[in-house]
Structure 1
Amino acid sequence: MTRLPIEEVLTSLRQAVGGGKAVVLKAPPGAGKTTGVPPAVLQSLEDNGISGQIWVIQPRRLAARSVADWVARSRNESVGETIGYHVRLDRRESAATRVVFMTTGMFLRRMQSDPLLENVACVVLDEFHERTLELDLALAMSHRLRSELRDDLGLVVMSATMETEPIVAFLNQENSENAVSLRCEGRAYPVAIHHGKDQPGERIERRIVEPIRDAVQSSDGHVLVFLPGVGEIRRVQTELERANLAGDARVVVLHGSLSPKQQDEAIRPSKFRKIVLSTNIAETSVTVDGVTAVVDSGLAKVPRFDSRRGLTRLETTSISLASADQRSGRAGRTAPGDAYRLWSQAAQRSRDEYDVPEILRADLSDMVLMLASHGETDLFAMRCLTPPPEHAVDSAQALLRMLGAIGRGGRITERGKVMAGLPLHPRIARLATEAVGVLPKASVAVLAALMSERDPMEGIAAMTLAEKVDAIENNRVPRSIPSSTIKSIRLIAETIKKNLPSGAPETRADAMECDRETAVACALLAAYPDRVVLRRTDAPDRGRMVGGRGVVGLKRMLGEISSEELVLCYDVDGGGTESRVRAAVAIREDWLDAEQVETVEVQSWDEGRSAVQCRRQVRYGDLVLRETPAKVPCDAETASILFENLKTRLPIAGEKFQKLLHRIGMVAEVDEQVPAVSEKMQLELLRELCVSRSSLKELKTAPWADHVLGKIGYPAWQMVQAETPEEVQLPGGRKVPVHYVEGKPPWIEVKIQLCFGWPETPRILRGRVPLQLHLLGPNGRPQQITNDLASFWATTYGEIRKELRRRYPKHDWPEDPLSATASFNGMKRR
């Protein structure tokens, strides 16, 4: 038998595992790590007298099953003896099994029931370079278990392309000698890379036919074609049949939706030549023997959070350079090969070097719920190789609280424990726990399967979700729907059914009395409480969703006959200013969670009245179901709203107050003992005066002067009165007011006759500032404006006197105004 490259490091690996060290192994594709390391670890445990199983964690079901089968056959055993596996829908394991190949999902679920892994001696994480969320979590939980409670637990992390140093550093944080790094150089035959041309907009099934033709003609072995999904596989298969390209080769397909038997048939050795149309399921671990040519679309479906349904969905995206190398390497396992890439050499340079860890782009609610089931309330206490984004953790916790799975402290609830035990996203788990007390388990399982997977009847708008469940259960599915997709839904539903509880906690008292449509609607409401929409009375096709977003397209989903004001839009497109509804069901207000419906009085600003208004609202979350006017409470919130809306309108008080501010400011300029009324002080005054008031009208009549005098103090006020008097006394004893306006000198208005005998301009501010005199004629109109009265008497008065004597002969116009006596009416004395 040919010696595998991995055998060069197996001795070092056995020594490290036997010595209690974690091992981080980098070995390229084809080196034999997946099939060679688990037996080597088993040998090391047996040599050291250590019992317990070895769990080998694989990201994909097909890899777990096929590798288990290969290793078992290499030992001349059947699967289920020393070597076993556990994947979704399939488990082959016995009391004698020592090595169990399993998917990451199965590992995390088995760890829920056995958090100490009491019967496990070593955990092997394979294909870690894929950096799925579950792989990162599996590493974090295994490492913490080793560090805190199980220092005897072995740990091996294997990667084909990822550098080992960051993982070793992570494992050595507590103990610098905890982990070691091993590297296997591997052995691969040369692979010639052929790049295509960029053809934006061209469908993939048309672009890929020519490279497949080249691959078939240039090689004698199997051709492995990487495509992003099942739909693309079917379309390419049709194009190949139409072009008659297969020749003597057979076209086979390989993807995760196939049954285990169909997957095994696609990868097992055969005498005939094959063109294998595969998703990235064949990128790692799974080996199709005899492949000498690879055709790579450069695309893959990766998990992304889908805001439409609030679930994680698969999204088609470009693969990284590391993944492209992984795929190309499949052509050089047994002989020199060729790899045909659909993208150009220029586009190659724009691709990411490695895949972005899923923990940075995924919905974390499933992860948070699982950790909560382990008693973990703080996700950041669980150290991960790549820490999760804080906003993603907050979002996941908010969703779980809304679904009733965790409490405010992050602790799991009784319902949450039931949900965590289901192999479903938390939303769908909540739907199932709500429906299981109302509908038969088989119906609940089909309902959950339809919501979890791609709905095969999504395009049939006339069918409600309840009708689709009934059609699948009773074999009444439209003939246009492929039977394979319905079979897949039924298979998934059967697994869900096995995990469903016998009854849900907090089941409604009227549960058994409602019909199937109502039961499905209520279950959907439990899963999507944040998708409730209130229809607009003026435009029934539109509405407002919890959270404030608008939706459109309600008539298309519900028709004209539905008169319900409330709608649950459980599938909406997130693009644009409004979300377009893709799936919805009418609901009633009495179905809403009573704890989420509240009556509140809400104050807001009425711009037209420049006043605070109050409305009594019945709300579900932030969605206002109905409202009526209410009396405005003069509380702190009212004062705050009033202040925030009027703080930019200062000054608010009338001219009298403005005059006071100007006087204070003038004195403050010459005397530091008097504080100026700054904008900050005015804002403080406004905040104080907003208390117990609710409108601009009330503020205008508020005692602004009293409050400002309280701010500057009585001594300062006395100084202001002395230095900037409100009025001055004229020579005849009469007093006139002094005008103070910002930006103008202080002034008085006085008739000329009242100033007779007044030799100098009156001054304020300790004589620093002369008052400006507006000297009026008998008609009250200004004849002269001056701030130098002496100069006026000496120069200008004579000219003005001539004109005024002519116009007002009965008035007194003395030649010498300084020796004349001031008179109020200004008339000549008899």
Structure 2
Amino acid sequence: MAPLRPHLPDLPVRGVLAELAEALAANRPVVLQAPPGTGKTLLVAPSLLGAPWLAGRRILLLEPRRLAARAAARQMARLLDEEVGRRVGYQVRLERMTSAATRIEVLTEGLLVQRLLNDPGLGDTGLVIFDEFHERNLASDFAFALTLDLRRVLRDDLRILVMSATIDTRSVADHLGEGSRVVGVADRAWPVETHYLDHPPSDVVPLPRRMAGAIADALRETAGGVLAFLPGEGEIRRTAALLRTMPLPDAVDVHPLFGALPRQAQEAAVAPAPSGRRKVVLATSIAETSLTIQDIRIVIDCGWMRVPRFSPRRGMGRLETLRITRDRADQRRGRAGRVAPGVCYRLWDEPTDRQLAPQALPEILDADLAPLRLQCADWGCADRADLPWLTPPPDAAWRQATALLHGLEALDDDGRLTPRGRDMARLPVHPRLAHMIQRAAEVGCPRRACLLAAAIEEAGADPDLRYETDARRLLDRLDGDDERAGKGDDWVRRVHLLARQWGRHFPSADRQAADAGRLIAWAFPDRVAQQRGRAGQFLMVNGHGAVIDETDALAGAPWLAVAELQDVGAEGRIRLAAPLEPDQVQDDFAGQVRIEDVVRWDRREERVTAMRRRRLGALVLGEGPLREFPPDAMLEALCEGIAAKGIANLGWSDAARNVQARILLLRRVFPEEGWPDVSDAALVQNLVAWLGDALADCTRWEQVRRIDLCEPLLALAGSRRRLLDELAPAFWRLPSGHRAPIRYDQGDQPVLAARLQELFGVNETPRVAGGRISLAVHLLSPARRPLAVTSDLASFWKTGYPLVRKEYRGRYPKHAWPEHPV
């Protein structure tokens, strides 16, 4: 029988194993900080196999990636001199190697979440180890919160151990609560020499070319294998292509390593190099943690990382390339010192290094929270404050996820799980795809839906399908006998395996057909899209625009259901979609179609138009003329038209402008008396109160222009109309008995214009506004031509009149020109 505790190799973490065992035996949560290469992933779990408090229960070791989980299980099994699946096993997506004898199980964090939801007590587990916790991906943060909640409520005997090389241990320990313990490993396994550029890299030289040159130099100058970090698959492929054209040393093998690679290619990248050969591994962040690649002595870090970002407002995700952070740069450097002294070349200069941000942001701050929100509801949490988050989910993303799940009928109005939502939560897929499968099951085509869901999730793993935009082609590749799944097409095999796993509770055969567009619309009802009159331009139900290359076969489709959308600017770029028939939209979303009467001002025709529309969100399904105009809507449209045309373009008469000016004068002179503001700026803001009654029979601009504006203006004065006539009269009675109009719209001073002879006998200047404002008197000739302007008649009669009399009495001898006119 194998010993319960193995003989452990002499790695730095071995010095703190007793301290760890003591703290865990006392049921104290522990945070272990240990640099890369110190043996924490390899040694900690096996060292605890004989702990009495385990009482035959398992240790769960969580890894952030499938490749790391398989590698950790293999290394620990080798330490125990056993095959994987005995005392050490693992579970990753589509793959499980465990047995009744398994005491250490390595799995990814997302699988722990599913396990907790299915078995909230986690009864067969005594210890949960969160390895590489500094990565702070969404699944690890959620699994951590659920595990803490479980320990707090049901399992106070459940031990928790958090391990990382670069995490802020104090904040994690504080979050774990009173009694938590921090244990540190100070020594590295092997020293790593770090080199920087002498100056910032030139943007003129593309990153793949800079990396290829650095790899070629390192291979000539330094012994051992090379691990080169690049942001993504595109840069890896371009760097590999450049290396194939360069004069590298003999016996060098180049291996790509990224998440979408087939498992066999990933395993080849991390396997030891054949004797006499050197290995160059071009990797994304997949190789930052947990993996020990035996031959690596050199790390070349490009200094960039690619991270997903999600916009709650637009409901779309995008990939951003960002400068590496300090913690992740240290993780990458540590890969060079795992098995021997190493060298790290950083493709940036030291001033740039000093400016690196200390830590990457937790993924929970920038992620699509719909899956997490559904799983929270399944756990019994309707509010985000119900769980002990290390970093709480952002409010905007939480609300967006809640709204989406409510639209998918997974949550009720209180944010709690509906029966449909409970069924959706049982499926380990995004809630959108889970909703599609449930709807398909109701109409008799769950198998087709499971196949499409699996194809969508796995499309990025196949180079031939990664840039496919038509979802129908994914299904075309899958159609045929399932036997094909085991005969060389790895992508087909994986998709069928996933589809069978997700569909095991549904009938094995569909009783009804469903095309890809209809299925996708059930998953993405907010992304049903209607062409906007130009090929490749679409408007979606949610009101956002979406585009696809106009040369794409889907660009001419009247309707699309969009499965994948990339946030690349003002409008999302369609990455995967399928045509949709209009009658399918009508049938499947009949309950969401609303009737809307649209009364608006037509600027081109300058009239009110009224239409009855059938709408699905932002999309118009159909419309027709509305025979009767709803009065309130018509008035609102007319006011919109008047505002657009401008107040000044109404049918203003001189009399109307004078009424306006009279009221404004009194408002200025008597501010305390509350005369209404009838300026153009105020009137346009108060069109309904001003012109509402006058617009009752109008529908066209020409009718609006014919409205006499005097009465509506006087109506604004209300009960003060008589006072208006007293304080700002429209006319002045002359000694002759005639009435001369007073113009109030000529400036700040009202104007009285009359023939000079009609003012004989008037010595005092006429005044208005209770005597506060004198009139500007325009004295006219008998032919009503201007003679003089005065605001002081008494002075004019004395000094101005004699001069006027002398000049004009000869021109107008039939009219009186007395020497003493007063």
User: By the TM > 0.5 criterion, same fold?
Assistant: yes
CA contact (8 A) 1:603 1:638 kept: no
The separation in 1 between residues aligned to 2:601 and 2:409, in whole angstroms, is 35
1:14 is matched with 21
The one-letter code of the counterpart of 1:190 is: P
Q: Cα gap change, 1:752/1:370 in structure 2, threshold over 3 Å: closer, same or farther?
A: same
Please point out which of 444, 447, 452 is paired with 1:441. 447
Q: State the partner residue of 1:410.
A: 415
SS in 2 for 1:635: helix
Alignment of 1:35-114 (within 5 A): 35-44=42-51, 46=52, 48=53, 52-114=57-119
* 1:527 Cα deviation after fit: 2.9
Alpha carbons of structure 1 residues 802 and 156: separation in structure 2 relative to 1, 3 Å: same
Contact 1:774 1:782 in 2 (8 A): yes
1:548·1:623 contact (CA, 8 Å) conserved in 2?
no
Match of 2:5 in 1: none
| Distance (whole Å) between structure 2 residues aligned to residue 101 and residue 641 of structure 1 | 70
| Equivalent in 37, 53, 66 of residue 30 of structure 1 | 37
Please tell me whether the aligned partners of residues 451 and 475 of structure 2 are also in contact (alpha carbons under 8 angstroms).
no
Following superposition, the deviation at residue 193 of structure 1 comes to 2.4
- The answer to whether the 8 Å contact 1:438/1:519 transfers is no
1:185 corresponds in structure 2 to 186
- Name which of 771, 784, 790 aligns with 2:788: 784
Unaligned runs of 5+ in 2: 1-7
Determine if contact 2:310/2:316 at 8 Å carries over to the other structure. yes
Answer yes or no: is the 8 Å Cα contact 1:320–1:355 preserved in 2: yes
CA distance in 2, matches of 1:787, 1:72: 110
1:590 to 572, 583, 587: 583
* Mapped contact 2:378–2:425 kept (Cα < 8 A): yes
Provide the C-alpha distance between the structure 1 equivalents of 2:227 and 2:770, rounded to a whole number of angstroms: 101
Q: 1:550-629, aligned counterparts within 5 Å? A: 551=547, 553-554=549-550, 556-558=552-554, 565-570=558-563, 575=568, 584-592=577-585, 593-607=589-603, 613-629=609-625
CA distance in 2 between partners of 1:290 and 1:457 (Å): 32
**Aligned-partner Cα distance in 2 for 1:258–1:802:** 110
What is the CA–CA distance in structure 1 between the aligned matches of 2:624 and 2:552, rounded to whole Å? 31
Q: What does the per-residue CA deviation read over 1:239-262, in whole Å, with 9 as the maximum and x for residues that have no partner? A: 666667464566566554566676
Contact 2:316/2:567, CA 8 A, preserved across alignment: no
Q: Percent identity?
A: 35
Matched-pair contact (CA < 8 Å) for 1:685–1:704:
no
Equivalent runs, 1:698-713 vs 2, <5 Å:
701=709, 703-705=711-713, 707-710=715-718
2:616 corresponds to which letter in structure 1? Y
Q: Give the secondary structure class of the aligned counterpart of 1:275.
A: strand
Asked whether the equivalents of residues 755 and 779 of structure 2 are also in contact (C-alpha less than 8 Å), the reply is yes
Letter in 1 for 2:296: V
Query: Whole-Å Cα distance in 1 between the matches of residues 634 and 393 of structure 2?
Result: 37
**What does residue 499 of structure 1 align with?**
502
User: Contact between 2:560 and 2:578, CA under 8 Å: does it hold in 1?
Assistant: yes
Give 1:775's aligned amino acid: L
The 3 A distance-change label for structure 1 pair 99 and 732 is same
Partners of 1:654 and 1:621 in 2: how far apart? Answer: 46
Asked if the contact 1:447/1:469 (under 8 Å) is kept, the reply is no
Paired with 2:608 and 2:18, the residues of 1 have a C-alpha distance of: 80
Q: Which runs of 5+ in 1 are unaligned?
A: 819-830
Question: Counterpart in 2 of 1:823?
Answer: none
Q: Is this contact kept in 1: 2:255–2:280, CA < 8 A?
A: yes
The Cα offsets for residues 66-86 of structure 1, whole Å up to 9 and x where unpaired, read as 323333443455444443322
Partner letter of residue 634 of structure 1?
P
Please tell me the residue identity of whatever aligns with 2:401. A
* Cα distance change on mapping 1:612 and 1:26 into 2, 3 Å: farther
- Structure 1 position 192, deviation (Å): 2.1
Equivalent-residue separation in structure 2 for 1:628 and 1:23 (angstroms): 69
Partner of 1:288: 293
Q: Is 1:136 matched up with 2:135? A: no
Q: Deviations over 1:706-739 (max 9, x none)?
A: 54333xx65xx66544443343332233433333
RMSD of aligned residue pairs (Cα, Å)? 4.2
The structure-2 alpha-carbon separation of the partners of 1:342 and 1:22, relative to structure 1 and needing over 3 Å to count, comes to same
What does the per-residue CA deviation read over 1:751-785, in whole Å, with 9 as the maximum and x for residues that have no partner? 33433333433333444433333333333333333
Partner Cα distance (2:803, 2:470) in 1: 100
For 1:281 and 1:313, the matched residues in 2 are separated by: 19
1:637–1:97 distance in 2 versus 1, CA, 3 Å: farther
More displaced stretch, 525-534 vs 572-581: 572-581
Change (3 A) 1:331 1:772: closer
Preserved CA contact (<8 Å) 1:230 1:255? yes
Measure the CA separation in 1 of the matches of 2:66 and 2:125.
21
In structure 1, C-alpha distance between the alignment counterparts of 2:770 and 2:470, rounded to whole Å: 89
Letter in 2 for 1:185: A
Q: Which amino acid aligns with 2:789?
A: I
Question: 1:359 — aligned with what?
Answer: 364
Whole-angstrom CA distance in 2 between matches of 1:250 and 1:647 = 71
Q: Is the 8 A contact 2:598 2:610 kept in 1?
A: yes
Say which is worse superposed, 91-100 or 295-304, in terms of deviation: 295-304
Residue 165 (1) aligns with residue 170 (2): yes
Q: 1:421 to 1:316 in 2, by over 3 A?
A: farther
Q: Give the Cα separation in 2 of the matches to 1:213 and 1:765.
A: 94
CA distance in 1, matches of 2:638, 2:402: 32
Moved more, 26-35 or 439-448: 439-448
Q: Give the CA deviation at 1:107.
A: 0.8
Q: Pick from 122, 130, 135: which aligns with 1:125?
A: 130
Q: CA shift at 1:581, angstroms?
A: 5.4
Correspondence for 2:477 = 471
Aligned residue among 500, 515, 522 for 1:519: 515
What is the letter of the counterpart of residue 689 of structure 2? E
Residue of structure 1 aligned with 2:632, choices 632, 635, 640: 635
- What is the CA distance between 1:268 and its match in structure 2? 5.5
Shift in Å, 1:487: 0.9
Are 1:58 and 1:101, in contact at CA under 8 Å, matched by a contact in 2? Answer: yes
For 2:581, the aligned partner's letter is R
Q: Which residue of 2 aligns with 1:825?
A: none
Decide whether the 8 Å contact of 1:612 with 1:638 is kept in 2: no
Asked whether the equivalents of residues 196 and 350 of structure 2 are also in contact (C-alpha less than 8 Å), the reply is yes
SS in 1 for 2:631: coil
How far off is 1:494 after superposition? 0.9
Checking the alignment, whether the CA contact within 8 Å between 2:659 and 2:714 is kept in structure 1 is: no
CA distance in 1, matches of 2:263, 2:153: 38
Q: Which amino acid aligns with 2:559?
A: L
How far the C-alpha of 1:438 sits from its partner, in A, is 5.5
Aligned residues: 789
Contact 2:11 2:189 in 1 (8 A): no
Q: 1:704 to 1:205 in 2, by over 3 A?
A: closer
Normalised TM-score (structure 2): 0.83
Q: Distance in 2 between matches of 1:541 and 1:253?
A: 35
Q: Measure the CA separation in 2 of the matches of 1:159 and 1:110.
A: 23
Q: Give the letter for the 2:328 counterpart.
A: S
Q: Is contact 1:292-1:337 (8 Å) kept?
A: yes
C-alpha deviation, 1:681, in angstroms: 7.5
Distance of aligned partners of 1:377 and 1:220 in 2 relative to their CA distance in 1, 3 Å threshold = same
Q: Deviations over 1:428-452 (max 9, x none)?
A: 4444445565657378426632454
Q: Distance in 1 between matches of 2:74 and 2:255?
A: 21
Query: In 2, Cα distance between the equivalents of 1:215 and 1:263?
Result: 23
Tell me the residue number matched to 2:4.
none
CA distance in 1, matches of 2:563, 2:550: 12
Where 2:193 maps in the other structure, the secondary structure is: strand
Could you say which residue in structure 2 is the equivalent of 1:674?
673
SS at match of 2:122: coil
Q: Secondary structure, in 3 states, of the residue corresponding to 2:181?
A: strand
**CA 1:241/1:499 → structure 2, altered by over 3 Å: closer, same or farther?**
same
